[in-house]
Structure 1
């Protein structure tokens, strides 16, 4: 291709963010330089996993909430945070992204192939698996899993508290949601939400039951596309249903979260509108 002359545009940072000197202040407050030191209470595999997750992989950059200054919080009871409009769930809860109740093999398959049984990664995490994790060695993947499975399993306070809706309002949403589901979802996910070869089960699904319904709402609106990897070379994708109104998305999300034994809070239309 012939060379072109392209003038670099000026940055659009605000008056404070554009001052490089302020970075030194931020680093003094939130950054501690150093090298990883092995924890003698754990074996070499665990320490390798901790080094990869906390260091090279910087997984907590997405999966840990940030304070008002943009620094990630530390501790053992950390909620997740929002990335590109999706919710990166916490590793410290098996009801979110925690692997504490999963086997080593299933956990490794999800990280390396983007799919493990009826579980699959979507959204920004699909990019992480496609561009990065699938290229790691088996030893490194299993080391990361060993570390992640050892994290404490705690009850995480949801970043967004569910809104209180009257039972009459919920009943109306369930009726609308059932109609949307029968029209747009039933053929792939099944009448009883048990899934098919092409679609995940919705009954008992972790994403469906998560206190924060952001990822469920995004999957309905934008579709769900697992990465294509060696272990999942021809992934089934879910098409977007962006022709649905905010009210219809809230209704079908509520129906899914409260059917087939699922017992999660309803999704308000205002929540769907916030994520739009």
Structure 2
């Protein structure tokens, strides 16, 4: 008689929707490699975002713009291999979907086929409508992203809070409604007033994930390097550091260097 294995309950778009409906908050973090994805997935994170923020924290670029589709697929593939439970969504990088819905579809299909991810995320509203429709028509789940959209940094010229003025707030609401109507399964709201984010989350039926958007949304997302304190210069109001790994790592490596220099490592017990 065979013994049934304990099955891992994989997170799906359906389950994310159910979480919103029962008032359970959704946890989401960025991930870019196999080892970190394994740890985050094992800790119970619901959604892993393979963010184009890899351009910043992994490659050292000033903005998210330089990262390529091939590089995003590489990071996404690594994350998927380290994931058993979480829903994995991948940012479509700058230039891979804006203004050309056929190119957007090709980019999304490449990510899904070559990485094994579960969905893609796009920045923008009305201006990317055709790309969203085209991707959804192929059965690829799409997550929206409104508010501060880092791929548009040179348009805005600043990373300050968005949608503080009534006109921009109304456009964000209109774009959010449109993305839901088109069929997006969720939307990320970045760095907008908490009251506006609450209004979006209350009005829309799909899960609304916030980063710097206050507590009244359906879930939260942070860049894992910021949460763990691997990066130390980035200190926005919305960030809560849960560790200071930059100091832990520096201390550990400094001890290793000291032990090598002093011939303390490896010891006789650490040799064959």
Q: Same fold (TM over 0.5)?
A: no
Q: Give the TM-score band, short-chain normalised.
A: under 0.3
Which protein is richer in strand relative to its size?
A: 2
Instruction: Give the number of the structure with larger relative contact order, counting CA–CA contacts within 8 Å between residues 6 or more apart.
Output: 1
